[in-house]
Amino acid sequence: MESVQATKQRFGIIGNDPKLNRAVEKAIQVAPTDISVLVTGESGVGKESIPKIIHSLSHRKHGKYIAVNCGAIPEGTIDSELFGHEKGAFTGATQTRNGYFEVANGGTIFLDEVGELPLTTQVRLLRVLENGEFIKVGSSKVQKTDVRIVAATNVNMFEAIKKEKFREDLYYRLSTVEIFLPPLRDRESDIHLLFRKFASDFANKYQMPTIRLDEDAVSLLEKYHWSGNIRQLRNIAEQISVLEQNRAINPETLRSYLPDMGSNLPAVISSNKKESDFSNEREILYKVLFDMKSDLNDLKKLTMELMQSGNSSQVQKENEGLIRKIYGDEETPPEVNFEEPVQPTTTELIQIPSPQPALEQKEEDKYHFAEEIEEEETLSLHDKELELIKKSLERHRGKRKAAAEELGISERTLYRKIKQYDL
């Protein structure tokens, strides 16, 4: 059996972290078997190296090795890509096509981002894992294949199963052996080693001196979060190699290439953000409430003016317009009654201005709304309503239904007003 160190050198794997060594060791151990393997870990940790090790050290090493990125293939064509299709199976299928499982017979298929597979494709894949059978799209003929499957994902599979995005039986079939690759931030001693390797590679590629980090820059490099893992570290090394004239890199220069440095600080920042978000939501809520208060005051004022003019049907139209402005296109709330006269009560937010001159008044609250209602206007509203009801009843010779239609109120409300005013 090949040693871990020899395997890492052979496949260009850099680092001496115990978790990394354990992952490589497991790959070496399962390679001679036909066990299905699931490689897990964050995006950018180098999961594609493990299936290459497994295939190269297995008895299938002379067979085909096909890597398939399941997340990059459209849902409508992935079945055709994996299992093939017959001529005329769908629009554009002008000829029969062999899928990856047929082409790789006797070899290994690496299904990268297997968590992105559609549920229908997962059912087909489960059948291949169970008995090696598959059916081409548009065919009824069952075919056999002898393929070893190594899958990889950066998705939390238990969460995907819980949300019914991934089949539980397929997960246990794929993960006969699970190999976990640690994120770069958990391999602190390997970070500078990887950076030096990338810096040397880019110096040779672009024919320029190799960049070097001072001690403080190395410390900053090792403490950074590296959410993009090895892929992000490689990109940073390439950027600095190309853009920096000075080949000695200090912390200030390095920090300018590391995005979101503040995200590595303690949780005080996130809590401040929450307080800020809460404050913004509270301000929006206050503004909505104050706007509603203003609209209601306008509604009362307009009702009084229109009732005094004697046009009660116009009152109802204007009221409906303002209520829709407040409540949108929903039905009128039950507590809003267009047929009742608007009477000011002690619960309404009405303020009678003080007798001081307007110039001496201070604007204490920009959200405070006030309206002025003369007492004689309130009394005249009552008299006006009584006069309108009398005239309408006389005009229609006491017929309540016709009078109610003319007044723009229900017959029941009119009957209540007749009793109230003893008409």
Structural domains in the chain, CATH included, are: 4-182 (3.40.50.300), 185-264 (1.10.8.60), 267-347 (no CATH)
| Contacting residues for 418 by C-beta, under 8 A, at least 6 apart | 389, 393, 400
Helix and strand numbers (H, E) in the chain are: 17, 9
Give the three-state DSSP class for 133: strand
Query: How many C-beta atoms surround the C-beta of residue 143 within 10 A?
Result: 17
Between the alpha carbon of residue 74 and those of residues 71, 78, 88, 122, 329, the distances in Å are 8, 6, 19, 14, 41
User: The pTM is what?
Assistant: 0.61
Residue-wise pLDDT tens for the chain (423 aa)?
679 999 999 999 999 999 999 999 999 999 999 999 999 999 999 999 999 999 999 999 999 999 999 999 998 899 999 999 999 888 888 899 999 999 999 999 999 999 999 999 999 999 999 999 999 999 999 999 999 999 999 999 999 999 999 999 999 999 999 999 999 999 999 999 999 999 999 999 999 999 999 999 999 999 999 999 999 999 999 999 999 999 999 999 999 999 876 444 444 444 444 444 555 666 677 667 777 777 777 777 777 777 776 655 655 665 666 556 555 554 444 444 444 444 444 444 444 444 444 444 444 444 444 444 444 444 456 777 778 888 888 888 888 888 888 888 888 788 778 877 777
